[in-house]
Amino acid sequence: MQLTDHQTMTLGALVINEMRLMYGTKFGQQWQGLTARELKDSWDQKLSGLTEREVRTGLTACLTRDWPPSLPEFLRLCRPWMNPEVAYHEAVVGMASRRRGDMGTWSHPAIYWAAVHAGSHDLLNSSYSVMKTRWERAFGDELAKGQWHGIPEVREALPAPGQTQATREEAAAALKAMGADKVLEPKRSRDPRSWAKKILDEQERKGGRRYAFATLTMAKRALGLELNPGEA
Q: What is the pLDDT of residues 67-110, one digit of tens each?
A: 999 988 898 888 888 888 988 999 999 999 999 999 989 988 99
145, 175, 199 - which closes a domain: 145
pLDDT of residue 166: 46
Question: What is the pTM for the complete model shown?
Answer: 0.49
53, 78, 103 - which closes a domain: 78
Q: Into how many domains does the chain fold?
A: 3
At residue 72's C-alpha, the angle toward residues 54 and 79, to 5°, is 25
What angle do the packed helices 36-46 and 71-78 form, to 10 degrees?
A: 40
Is 42 part of a structural domain of the chain? yes
d(CA 25, CA 216): 62
- The reply to whether 63 and 33 lie within a common domain is yes
- The reply to whether 17 and 55 lie within a common domain is yes
What angle do the packed helices 84-99 and 128-145 form, to 10 degrees?
A: 100
SS3 230: coil
11-28 average pLDDT score: 94
- The reply to whether 18 and 72 lie within a common domain is yes
Q: Give me the percent of the chain exceeding a pLDDT of 70.
A: 77
Residue 15 has pLDDT above 50, yes or no: yes
**Average pLDDT for the chain:** 81
pLDDT-derived band at 155 (thresholds 50, 70, 90) equals: confident
212-221 average pLDDT score: 74
- The reply to whether 70 and 87 lie within a common domain is no
Is 105 part of a structural domain of the chain? yes
**Length of the chain measured in residues:** 232
31, 63, 78 - which closes a domain: 78
Is 176 part of a structural domain of the chain? yes
Nearest residue to 171 via CA among 163, 162, 180: 180
Residue 206 has pLDDT above 80, yes or no: no
Asked if residues 139 and 114 have their Cβ atoms less than 8 Å apart, the reply is: yes
- The reply to whether 15 and 38 lie within a common domain is yes
Phi and psi, residue 2, nearest 5°: -90, 150
Torsion of CA 129, 132, 134, 135, to 10 degrees: 130
Q: Which of 157-161, 169-173, 185-189 has the highest mean pLDDT?
A: 169-173
Residue 167 has pLDDT above 80, yes or no: no
Asked if residues 195 and 175 have their Cβ atoms less than 8 Å apart, the reply is: yes
Asked if residues 103 and 154 have their Cβ atoms less than 8 Å apart, the reply is: yes
Is 132 part of a structural domain of the chain? yes
- The reply to whether 171 and 217 lie within a common domain is yes
Domain of 175, in residue numbers: 166-223
d(CA 184, CA 230): 27
Dihedral of alpha carbons 39, 40, 43, 46, sign? negative
Is 109 part of a structural domain of the chain? yes
- The reply to whether 15 and 70 lie within a common domain is yes
Is 117 part of a structural domain of the chain? yes
SS3 1: coil
Residue 60 has pLDDT above 80, yes or no: yes
Is 157 part of a structural domain of the chain? no
How many beta carbons lie within 10 A of that of residue 106, not counting itself? 19
45 CB burial (10 A radius; 0-12, 13-18, 19+): exposed
Torsion of CA 210, 212, 198, 118, to 10 degrees: 80
- The reply to whether 100 and 47 lie within a common domain is no
Is 153 part of a structural domain of the chain? no
